[in-house]
Copies of this chain bind each other. A is one copy, B any other.
C-alpha cells in the first residue's frame, strides 16, 4: 500500500506554492506585466558567463568517459580540494578536501548534516522566522524541530529565550544568516554570544551541540558588507551551502556541507554523510555540474539587482508607515502586516495583484514576506500599486 505518512503530507498544501500558482493563473488572465508576484524566492538574474564557459570547456576538452564517469560517493577529489581552498582563502579557514561533502543543493546539505549529528528523538533548534522546509528536513530524520521565538526588533537572536530553549536534548542548532524570510544578517557580536552560550552548555551537558549553518544567501549582502563566516566563531560547525543564489543556477541543485576541521569527529563526518546517502539514494551530484561549479567558486551572477530592489521596496514600506527591519542581505523583506491576521492582509493585497506571503508558515504570524527577485523596472511599477493598496485598504494606517 502507499505510505500513509507521506500521503498525509500531500494534503498540507504549501501556501507559497498556492499563491504562486494563483499569480501564474492571474498572469495568464491579465498579462504577466500586471501581476506583481513577490511570492517566490526564485533567482531572476542569469548565471555568470564564466559558468557557461566552464561547461563548454569541459564538454570540449575532457574525455567523455572521465567527464561523465562514476564519481566517488564522497565527491570528486579535485572538486573538494577547490572548494576547501576557496573557503580557506576567503574566510581564513583550514579545510581539507576530506571536510567537503558535495550535495544536491542546500536541501541535500541540510538533510545530510542534520542526520549526521542527531539520533531519532533529538531536538534541533531553529529561530523564528525560518524557512518552512526546515520542518520536513528535520522531522524526516526522526529528530524534532523546536522554534525559538523571534527577536522582532532586529531579527538577531533573543538570548534570554535561547537560554531557556537550549536544553540537554538539543543535539544541534540550525541558523540561517542571511535569513529567509527576514533578510537579517547575524552580526559578529551575535555569533560570538551564540558560540559562548553553546560552548557553555556543551560543557554543562557533557556532549557536543552542533551548529548547522545554512548559508545559501552568503553572497547576497548589502551596503558593501560581507557576512561573518559562522564556522570562525564556533568549532562544532557544519556549513551548508548552495550555489543556487550566488551563481543563479537553482535548477542545477548543487551545494556542499563543509565540516569544520575543529569539529568533534571531523574526520568521520563526511564518511558518515556518505553512509547516509546510501540509505536515501542520493549519492553525488551530477559530475558535469560539480566540475563546472568548482571552476566558478569565486564568481557570482550580477547580484546587485537585489540591493536596488530592496532599497526601493524598503523605502516605500517605511514611507507608508510599516514596521520593517532593513535587510542586511538575501532577496527578502519581512514587514509587519497592517492587521493582526497577515493572511487577511495578503488576501486584500491580492485584489491589487500584489502577491505577498503571510508570515505564519515562517513562524512569523503578523508579518509577511516580500521576495523581490524581479526586474527593477517591475519593482518600480509596483510601488504606486503598493501605495494605492495601503491607502485604500488601511486609510487610518495600521489597524491595530
Question: Is A36 positioned at the interface, with any CB of B under 8 Å from its CB?
Answer: no
Chain B residues near A269 (CB, 8 Å)? 2
Given A115-B3, A118-B3, A288-B289, do A281 and B109 touch, yes or no (CB 8 Å)?
yes
Chain B residues near A311 (CB, 8 Å)? none
Given A2-B268, A6-B115, do A252 and B104 touch, yes or no (CB 8 Å)?
no
- Contacting residues of chain A (82-104) with chain B, CB-CB under 8 angstroms: 103-104
Report the nearest B residue to A139, measured CB to CB.
B279
Asked if A287 and B251 make an inter-chain contact with CB atoms under 8 angstroms apart, the answer reads yes
Question: Is A123 positioned at the interface, with any CB of B under 8 Å from its CB?
Answer: no
Binary flags per residue of A239-267, CB closer than 8 Å to B gives 1, else 0: 00000100011111110000000001100
- Tell me the smallest distance from the CB of A261 to a CB of chain B, in Å: 15
Given A69-B250, A207-B1, A251-B70, do A6 and B282 touch, yes or no (CB 8 Å)?
no
- Tell me the smallest distance from the CB of A211 to a CB of chain B, in Å: 14
- Tell me the smallest distance from the CB of A377 to a CB of chain B, in Å: 16
Asked if A107 and B42 make an inter-chain contact with CB atoms under 8 angstroms apart, the answer reads no
CA distance A1 to B170 in the complex (A): 10
Question: Is A331 positioned at the interface, with any CB of B under 8 Å from its CB?
Answer: no
Could you tell me which A residues sit within 8 Å of B by CB distance?
A: 1-7, 9-10, 42-47, 51-52, 55-56, 59, 63-65, 67-71, 103-105, 107-112, 115-119, 133, 136-137, 139-141, 171, 207-208, 244, 248-254, 264-265, 268-269, 271-272, 275-276, 278-289
Known: A9-B275, A43-B65, A104-B281. 11 other contacts (CB 8 A): A1-B265, A2-B264, A3-B116, A6-B279, A47-B64, A64-B248, A68-B248, A70-B250, A111-B280, A112-B281, A253-B283
| Between-chain CB contacts (< 8 Å), 15 pairs | A1-B208, A4-B119, A7-B275, A10-B275, A69-B251, A70-B251, A110-B281, A111-B282, A136-B275, A136-B279, A141-B279, A253-B284, A253-B285, A286-B289, A289-B289
